[in-house]
Amino acid sequence: MSEKPLQERRVIVTGGAGFLGRFVCQALRDRGVPQHNIFVPRRAQFDLTNQTDVTRLVRNAFGKEKCDLIIHLAAEVGGIGANRDNPGRYFFANMAMALHLIEQARLDGLHQRGGSFVQVGTICAYPKFTPVPFHEDELWNGYPEETNAPYGVAKKAAWQMLDAYKLQYGFRSAYVLPVNLYGPHDNFDLHSSHVIPALIRKCVEAQRRGDKEIVCWGTGSASREFLYVQDAAEGIVRAAETMNDPTPVNLGAGFEITIKNLVELIVKLTGFQGGIRWDSTKPDGQPRRCLSTERAEKLLGFRAAVGFEEGLKRTIEWYRANS
């Protein structure tokens, strides 16, 4: 996207200190981007929902030098419970961050000097009953699953903003949609985490306490696809290297597993000996999620490298060592 090779670019990575962000920053360093050319804004210094803070970030991240690439990972997001409790906040925060960052990058002339913007979207933007596997062309063919629709719609609106800015201003960008991520450094808070870290924590803690069972939300019938976080970071950096328009690109592993089978697998890998009780009063969320990954392979040369059981083992080992 940029006239400069990646290793010579100055990169702002919003959310760069987070779960996915630390792996994206490592992938940039592995490509030869020096640490001093990677700027990670911290929330204490920059409120990305505030226009003044975003202006200060884009203009001053590298002093008198200008940034060449913005990778926007920062998001306010959680699992089904957190989405249900915070629909207004999740819409506002995610919409405001993208809105201010994209517009400020345009005002700062990012695209005019060969720079670009990478927006990380979400598969929560897909319609609730999207045919499986999800193809990118289906993004507008229905309303998202209700519990995470505000978050998903905000992220999808950012894609439309990038598309409109390309048409009017020639703004360079990429838009990727990672499937559910998991791996070391994930959020393991039981209320706000996603399904894999929540299940790992439940099983490990229940094993430590000697509990006779764990309780899981829903019926277990819903299915999901999961991508190891290091693979997702690789896909994002490849998008930064190769894309110059916001054609949506799925990042996934190309398989799905029911929540029931996922729970049984994590129980086996953690060594928890107790039973599993399903609380069917809790929602299952979107019935199925599995992505078509053909476009990512064609446009980015991307395929997931880490097998699912191997990724789960690494994540469980990390949690045991750091919990």
Residues assigned a catalytic role: 151
CA pair distance 202, 207, nearest whole angstrom: 8
- 291 DSSP β-pair partners: 134
In whole angstroms, what is the distance from residue 105 CA to residue 1 CA? Answer: 15
* DSSP-assigned letters across all residues of 249-297: EEE--S--EEHHHHHHHHHHHHT--SEEEEETTS---SS---B--HHHH
Nearest to 138 by CA among 304, 284, 250: 250
Of 271, 313, 239, 264, nearest to 2 (Cα)?
239
CA 307 to chain CA centroid, nearest Å: 19
